[in-house]
Structure 1
Amino acid sequence: MPENNPYQQLQPEERLTIANLHLQGSSIRAMALILGRSPATVSRAYRQDELDATADSLNSRPRATHAFHSPFEVFAATLASASQPQGAKH
């Protein structure tokens, strides 16, 4: 006898989207609207530990291990070099 359960688990891509939206400061309702899901569904997936782990995995992608720099890192380095006196060298 098949169950009549309308709930479908979030796909990995949806969880990544939730993690990215969380990093951008989106609310649960906004995330639900973007994903076309119920806020309750997003809320179930919205566990801080899970989101932090996903964010850490996104931030430690190969870019960090192959000496590529994020836009923020490039911007910070540009600001740091602009604030140094012209004759100073490191």
Structure 2
Amino acid sequence: MKEGPAFDLVDTIMSTLAEMAPLDDEFSSRTHLLSSGVMDSMSVLEFVERLENLLGVHIPDELLVEDSFASAERLAEVLRALL
């Protein structure tokens, strides 16, 4: 698991998203991940797997809901509770 002062979950989420799909200039850490079209149900599964491997954490099924993916900032809040 990454940690320390240089570790920023939002940056990690944003860079992981950018690895999976091109993000336009208007995309920000507050952009809704699902309604913006950046992610769909299949890409969410791949994204979750990447984050779990990167962070060394398991994201329980009950957290795999739309609210958790409201934005990179919201997802960071969800992940912080697991770390």
TM-score w.r.t. structure 2 length? 0.27
Higher gyration radius (CA):
1
Structure with more helix by fraction: 1
Structure with more contact order per residue of length (Cα contacts < 8 Å, sep ≥ 6): 2
